[in-house]
Amino acid sequence: MLTIAQALVWAKTQLRDRGVSDDGLHESAAIDSKVLLAASLNKELVYLHTWPEKLLDELQMQTFKEFVEQRSAGHPVAHIIGYRDFWTLRLKVTPDTLIPRPETELLVEIALTLDLPESAKVLDLGTGTGAIALALASEKHNWVITGVDKQSDAVTLSKHNATSNNLERVAFMHSDWFSAVAAQQFDLIVSNPPYIEEENRYLKLGDVRFEPSSALTAGHDGLEDIRHIVAQSRRYLSGNGWLVIEHGYQQGAAVTEIFKENAYNNICTHDDLNGLPRITFGSFQ
Ligand SMILES: C[S@@+](CC[C@H](N)C(=O)[O-])C[C@H]1O[C@@H](n2cnc3c(N)ncnc32)[C@H](O)[C@@H]1O
């Protein structure tokens, strides 16, 4: 029998030995061990720090060992435990779409700082788990928010997440970008679209190997979907409306150029916590 503290040491060693090592940036093995153990015990992380001497029972240890084995084989933590916390929400995650990333919380933060009407109409393009749409809805109770995705399974997932987070007022539907969106004016369009180059080596490494290319890649330069969204959003934005887009850290200048080519004003790019340009937004004001 192992205590919580001993189980964590065992898992950390196990993951490091199998190549899920601390990389100096994310301390992946240590953090992953904690998240997997908390999920095995069906508790929050703080429980591990509060009860380090508590013994795991047989079933808990067996579940934890299975989780660590899956992680050692490369599976993303979110797929193993079935959820990812994003903003203040717990979102169900499946291999049908992207696992929400912390960087995307910056997009949510920026959208919340924009000068928008009390009952703003909002569209989230490529909603995936519903992460952005639901985070905005959790902060702005009067916003009228719709999320769309081309993958039917992602739409089903986002609806599930709306229900589990008591945010059923957010509408989710199947659409190839704007194809099923009726002609109307939005005050805010947000998107974290696919933006990785099809041939990018990074696609063969780490967690992204387990995520669908439909959520990751956009043509040879990664900008195909962003070009489409920026051009098409013109027709769907109100006079004071804003378009906010997440993109790759090397795409800041190219995305700004795409906004300019489409005659947007007030174009601004924000850095993430690592100082890398990740979010660009603009309007027609
Ligand atoms: C990078 S993921 C972002 C998911 C979610 N918004 C997030 O931030 O976690 C991109 C999403 O866009 C969706 N997508 C890709 N092509 C699309 C299209 N043509 N129309 C609508 N959605 C699309 C994918 O299915 C995927 O869910």
Say if ligand 1 is within 6 A of residue 91 CB: no
| pLDDT over 80 (residue 65) | yes
Say if 86 falls within a structural domain.
no
pLDDT for 53: 97
158 lines ligand 1 (CB under 6 A): no
Specify if 193 maps to a domain.
Answer: yes
Structural tokens at position 66: 């299975």
Structure tokens at 211: 């995520």
Q: Nearest Cα to 131, choosing from 197, 72, 78, 178?
A: 78
DSSP string, 25-70: SS-HHHHHHHHHHHHHHT--HHHHHH-TTPBP-HHHHHHHHHHHHH
Measure the CA–CA gap between 259 and 281, rounded to whole angstroms. 8
Distances (CA, A) of 48 to 58, 71, 138, 171, 231: 17, 19, 28, 37, 49
Average pLDDT over residues 102-125: 97
Q: What is the number of the ligand 1 atom nearest to the C-alpha of 128?
A: 27
Give the chain's end-to-end CA distance (angstroms, integer). Answer: 65
Answer whether 214 contacts ligand 1 (Cβ < 6 A): yes
Q: Is 217 in the pocket of ligand 1 (CB under 6 A)?
A: no
Please determine, for residue 27, whether its predicted confidence score (pLDDT) is greater than 70.
no
- Residue 151 clears pLDDT 80, i.e. is over it: yes
DSSP state of 196: B
Could you read off the pLDDT of 35-46 as tens digits, one per residue? 999 999 999 999
Same structural domain for residues 147 and 232?
yes
Q: What is the mean pLDDT of the chain?
A: 95
From the CB of residue 127, how many other CB atoms can be counted at a distance below 10 Å? 30
Q: What is the pLDDT of residue 25?
A: 45
Ligand 1 center to residue 101 CA distance, Å?
13
Mean pLDDT of 63-76: 96
| Residue of 127, 136, 179, 202 best suited for mutating to test ligand 1, as the one with most atoms within 8 Å of CB | 127
The CATH number of residue 51's host domain is 1.10.8.10
- 241 ligand 1 Cβ < 6 A: no
The domain boundary residue, chosen from 40, 57, 81? 81
Domain stop point among 51, 81, 111: 81
Give Cβ neighbours of residue 204 (< 8 Å, ≥ 6 apart): none
Residue 26 has pLDDT above 70, yes or no: no
Q: Are residues 190 and 77 in the same domain?
A: no
* Rounded distance from Cα 149 to ligand 1 centre (Å): 6
Q: pLDDT above 70 covers what percent of the chain? A: 98
> pLDDT per residue over 224-282, tens digit each?
999 999 999 999 999 999 999 999 999 999 999 999 999 999 999 999 989 999 999 99
Whether residues 76 and 125 share a domain: the answer is: no
pLDDT digits (tens, 9 = 90+) for 173-205: 999 999 999 999 999 999 999 999 999 998 998
> Do residues 34 and 165 both lie within one domain?
no
Q: How many domains does the chain have?
A: 2
Contact 120, 188 (CB under 8 A): yes
Domain containing 75 equals 4-81
In contact, 234 and 284? CB cutoff 8 Å: yes
SS3 content of the chain, % helix, strand, coil (to 5): 40, 20, 40
The verdict on 57 and 144 lying in the same domain is no
Tell me, what's the pLDDT at 33? 97
